[in-house]
Structure 1
């Protein structure tokens, strides 16, 4: 099974990947599968997906009702791993973090976990912060749930993968 990219909105049988930092894509309300890359500004009914330069993933609904955690989204919303949305008749999950197995030639080999300082070795299961790319042992990432990434100047608040319903290796 192919690994799904992150960050993404997962519609169940299909998904939409967020654009690179500083870019936007638009999902027309009547054709959500037809994402197109363009800057915000049109008045067509739909949903803008964007990545701020900081790496945060945002949604900007235009004349489209979007519920996040059961509450209406007004103007825009910054998404966090595990957020559940309801839009255009679809239940959608947001994913931005995943556990990965370190490959033989990974640049992460020899680096340290930001929490426990254990050396990262080949075949280890790790999680990388979606904002600063700092590496953590999977257990250490779960330990940091609702706290803060340990990397300097990063304000990401980790969510435990197991609590967010994400498979260990999706």
Structure 2
């Protein structure tokens, strides 16, 4: 089956692409160097800490996590991998989202939840993900769910090449 993924290029362009195998990729690995990774995480932690302070009084009863997966698109440009949810789902139908979901009782951390959900939803195994770390949790709008974003880099040649057969939720 083909599924739709949205690759948001860091130059501001978005496109929906069919998932398929990719054989040629250009990589600028310095874009995701350790120095830039640290700078990115420092900036995200400061921003999320401020948001966390603003929303601290919002009641939450469930925890969830999402993966914020940086990657390279098929043109070798830095991008963020997003999913386009089916119109037939009971919750969040038709929305663009990060892979993720509600924490299972066996998940020991937000990172474990995000990696498990990403593998379930997209077929990307944890071994192909370089986790940079979680940032401060935020409330999900319109619900009592506290969502922890986990920033990461998908290490494969392209997210599309990791997904040979994706079962689309109808």
Structure index of larger Rg: 1
Structure with more contact order per residue of length (Cα contacts < 8 Å, sep ≥ 6):
2
Q: TM-score by structure 1 length? A: 0.29
